[in-house]
Amino acid sequence: MNPTSNHAPCVYIVDDDQQVRESLEWLLESVNLPTKLYQNGQEFLDAFTTGLPGCVILDVRMPKMNGMELHLAIKQIDPNFPVIIVTGHADVPMAIRAMKEGAFDFIEKPYNDQHMLERIQAAIHEYNSLQQDHQRSQELKKRFDSLSKREQQVLQGILQGKPNKLIADELFISIKTVEVHRSNLMSKLEVKTVTDLVRLAIEAKKDDATP
């Protein structure tokens, strides 16, 4: 089950400045976005649960663990989890480097509230899409992994456009046996036509979900 489907997105705010944390909390709650506040990076990492929808907003300059270090730590846990970095003008080069290393965006202070909300919504949407794609890929892999070795061989023959008789001859089995394997594999893959089978195989190949 995809955890994003059962949880409302949460915006994690990591900043050592209490006024900044509370200001962002007020902004996000005004559009009914739940928030969790942390005063340093380690406090956030101790509480972070991967796979749940949301994003992190963090300041570049924080004591103990700065924003860059926290960003890299988050990426070690969940490479896709979106990080939005809030930075002063002097820290723009650092923020750009963070984006090259996978941060979703950086926003300069002072920022426009509407722009901040738009980027947060975009980050949450992108993460949800990535999670759904991952779930679909895992589902396809599970289906293809359920095929027996013989069913996989018959599948390859079908995908190559070979008739049942040729598949039977090449595998030294009867046409009837090919038909049984063909029926079984289509049932396991949850497709009804060869066209659907080909389409599913192409999708699985793209996602590297085929055995």
107, 159: one domain: no
- Asked if residue 197 is part of any domain, the answer here is yes
Looking at residue 110, what is its pLDDT?
87
125, 152: one domain: no
Number of folded domains that form the chain:
2
Which residue positions in the chain have pLDDT lower than 70? 1-6, 89-90, 207-211
Looking at residue 60, what is its pLDDT?
87
Cα separation, 98 vs 106, in Å, equals: 8
- Asked if residue 141 is part of any domain, the answer here is no
- Asked if residue 211 is part of any domain, the answer here is no
107, 168: one domain: no
Counting every residue, how long is the chain? Answer: 211
Q: At what angle do helices 149-159 and 194-206 cross, to 10 degrees?
A: 100
Looking at residue 1, what is its pLDDT?
37
CATH number of residue 180's parent domain: 1.10.10.10
Looking at residue 90, what is its pLDDT?
62
- Asked if residue 183 is part of any domain, the answer here is yes
Q: Given the DSSP bridges, would you call strands 35-38 and 54-59 parallel, antiparallel or unpaired? A: unpaired
Q: Which two tokens stand for residue 15?
A: 């900043």
- Asked if residue 23 is part of any domain, the answer here is yes
- Whether residue 115 contacts residue 107, with contact meaning beta carbons closer than 8 Å, is answered with yes
* CA distances from residue 174 to 54, 111, 187 in whole angstroms, order as listed: 54, 71, 20
- Looking from the CA of 173 toward its CB, the CA atoms found within 13 Å total 16
- Whether residue 80 contacts residue 98, with contact meaning beta carbons closer than 8 Å, is answered with no
**Radius of gyration (Cα) for the chain, nearest Å?**
24
Give the end of a domain, one of 136, 154, 173.
Answer: 136
Residue 161's domain spans which residues?
146-206
202, 162: one domain: yes
Please name which of 133, 143, 142 lies closest in space to residue 196, comparing C-alpha atoms. Answer: 143
At 48-98, the pLDDT tens digits run 988 788 999 999 888 888 888 999 999 999 999 999 999 876 677 777 788
89, 127: one domain: yes
- Asked if residue 66 is part of any domain, the answer here is yes
Give the end of a domain, one of 136, 156, 171.
Answer: 136
38, 13: one domain: yes
How wide is the angle at C-alpha 63 spanned by C-alphas 29 and 39, nearest 5°?
A: 25
Give the end of a domain, one of 112, 136, 160.
Answer: 136
CATH number of residue 23's parent domain: 3.40.50.2300
11, 90: one domain: yes
- Asked if residue 190 is part of any domain, the answer here is yes
Please name which of 26, 69, 74, 82 lies closest in space to residue 47, comparing C-alpha atoms. Answer: 74
Looking at residue 38, what is its pLDDT?
96
User: 166 CB contacts (<8 Å, ≥6 apart)?
Assistant: 157
38, 71: one domain: yes
Q: How many helices (H) and strands (E) does the chain have?
A: 9, 5
98, 118: one domain: yes
Residue with the two structure tokens 């079908």: 158
179, 121: one domain: no
110, 182: one domain: no
Burial of 206 (C-beta count, 10 Å sphere; 0-12/13-18/19+) = exposed
